[in-house]
Amino acid sequence: MAISDSVASLVTSEVDFDAEGRQTGFLRVPHSVNRSAYGWIPVPVVALKNGPGPTLLLIAGNHGDEYEGQIALTRLARNLACDDIRGRIILLTAANFPAAQAASRTSPIDAGNLNRSFPGDARGTPTQMIAHYIEAELMPMADYAVDLHSGGTSLFYPPTLLRGQGNSPDETKKLTLLQAAFDLPYSWVFTGPGGRKSTASTAMGAANRNGVVCVMAELGGGGCVTPDILYQTERGLRRVLHALDMLPGYTPDQTRGSRELNVLGSVYAYDSGLLEPLKGIADDVAVDEVVALIHHPDTPWKQADEVRSPYGGIVLCKRALGQVERGDAVFQIAQEFRASSHKGAGA
Ligand SMILES: [Zn+2]
pLDDT of residue 347: 56
Task: Judge whether 50 and 91 are in contact, CB under 8 Å.
Answer: no
- How many A from CA of 216 to the centre of ligand 1? 9
pLDDT of residue 338: 78
pLDDT of residue 192: 81
The full length of the chain comes to 347
Per residue in 115-136, pLDDT (tens digit) is: 999 999 999 999 999 999 999 9
Task: State pTM to two decimals.
Answer: 0.95
By the CB criterion, residues less than 5 angstroms from ion ligand 1 are 63, 66, 149
Phi and psi of 206, rounded to 5°?
-60, -40
Per residue in 184-227, pLDDT (tens digit) is: 999 999 988 788 999 999 999 999 999 999 999 999 999 999 99
Continuous segment of H or E residues that includes residue 235 = helix 227-243
- How many A from CA of 299 to the centre of ligand 1? 35
- How many A from CA of 275 to the centre of ligand 1? 23
DSSP 9: P
Average pLDDT over residues 71-89: 97
pLDDT of residue 4: 45
- How many A from CA of 159 to the centre of ligand 1? 13
Provide the percentage of residues in the chain whose pLDDT is more than 70: 96
Nearest alpha-carbon partner for 336 in 264, 253, 238: 264
- How many A from CA of 347 to the centre of ligand 1? 6
Average pLDDT over residues 82-100: 98
Please give the radius of gyration of the chain, using alpha carbons only, rounded to the nearest integer.
20
Task: Judge whether 4 and 121 are in contact, CB under 8 Å.
Answer: yes
